[in-house]
Amino acid sequence: MPRFLLSNDDGYLAPGLAALAEAIRPLGDLEVLAPEQDRSGASNSLTLDRPLRMRTGLNGFHYLVGGTPTDCVHLAVTGIFAETPDMVVSGINRGANMGDDVLYSGTVAAATEGRFLGLPAMAVSLAGRDCTHFSTAAQVAAKLVIGVLSHTLPADTILNVNVPDLPYDEIRGFEVTRLGRRHKSDMVIPAADPRGDPVYWIGPSGREADAGPGTDFDAVRRGYVSITPLDLDMTRYNFLEGLSQWLLRC
């Protein structure tokens, strides 16, 4: 039977992780290693300034005290468990990870780390304001896991999946999409701590900028599951020659 590693960035007590585990468990063996607390926005950060301690919660899920999503997948794959998983599934995130969100997302980062370590990987997010239909995203995840195990993903490629927050029978289908884009987020929310010293909150994500046909934003808005293949190789190949010519003139 295949062996799955589940992780997330919302923490080991998150309802999305529980729903994902329930859906994936019938497909094979699984281990769960997630952050102790919500680490949304942690991106691909690794903890290098202190050791990490693994504990097991009352729900049976393992968690890392103070760890990030990338910490969890890295340690799980490289030796914290006796057996290496066959696939990494990250999620189900509470909220979308579309467009520029993927640069900051700990959910996507956990899947990225799995692929970096040589395993097929997928990130799953529930795209909505209230996020009540985790069971829908879990059913979608299980279906796609079967597909990924049946078809080899290209090297350095993960699947970023965003599921509309709808009952399963209202999902209109699946669409392969590209990332949209957001306007920059420049809102800073000033406040004060109990001593009166200034503190600052980073504001919400920017509004949609490129959300037309073919984007993840558009698919989800129309009730479709968005599936975007993401490449770990961030080289801008079509600029290599132009950059070389520019350097010759320096």
| 205 pLDDT more than 80 | no
Of the two residues 47 and 188, the one the predictor is more confident about is 47
Determine the pLDDT at residue 116: 96
Alpha carbon distances (Å) from 183 to 11, 107, 179, 189, 202? 28, 21, 13, 18, 15
The annotation status of 216 as a binding-site residue, yes or no, is no
The mean pLDDT value of the chain amounts to 94
Domain containing residue 116: CATH number: 3.40.1210.10
Specify if 189 maps to a domain: no
* Percent with pLDDT over 70 in the chain: 100
Query: What total of structural domains would you count in the chain?
Result: 1
Q: How far apart are CA 21 and CA 61, in angstroms?
A: 10
Model pLDDT, residue 210: 77
Domain span at residue 40 reads 3-182+209-248
Q: Cα(125)–Cα(98) distance, rounded to whole angstroms?
A: 9
Higher pLDDT, 129 or 16: 16
pLDDT of residue 59: 93
Q: Is residue 220 part of a domain?
A: yes
| 156 falls within a domain | yes
Q: Can you tell me the mean pLDDT for 26-51?
A: 95
CA atoms 208, 169, 21, 147: torsion sign:
negative
Tell me: is residue 218 an annotated ligand-binding position. Answer: no
Selection from 153, 169, 166 nearest residue 228 by Cα: 153
Asked whether 158 and 116 are in contact (CB, 8 A), the reply is no
74 band by pLDDT with thresholds 50, 70 and 90:
very high
pTM of the model: 0.93
29-35 vs 173-176, strand pairing mode: unpaired
9 assigned ligand-binding residue: yes
Is 61 part of a structural domain of the chain? yes
pLDDT value of position 202: 82
At residue 186, the pLDDT reads 72
For residue 199, being part of any structural domain is answered with: no
pLDDT at 203 over 80: no
Domain for residue 31, yes or no?
yes
Hey, what amino acid is at 25? R
- Is 169 annotated as belonging to a binding site? no
d(CA 86, CA 3): 5
- Within-domain flag for 158: yes
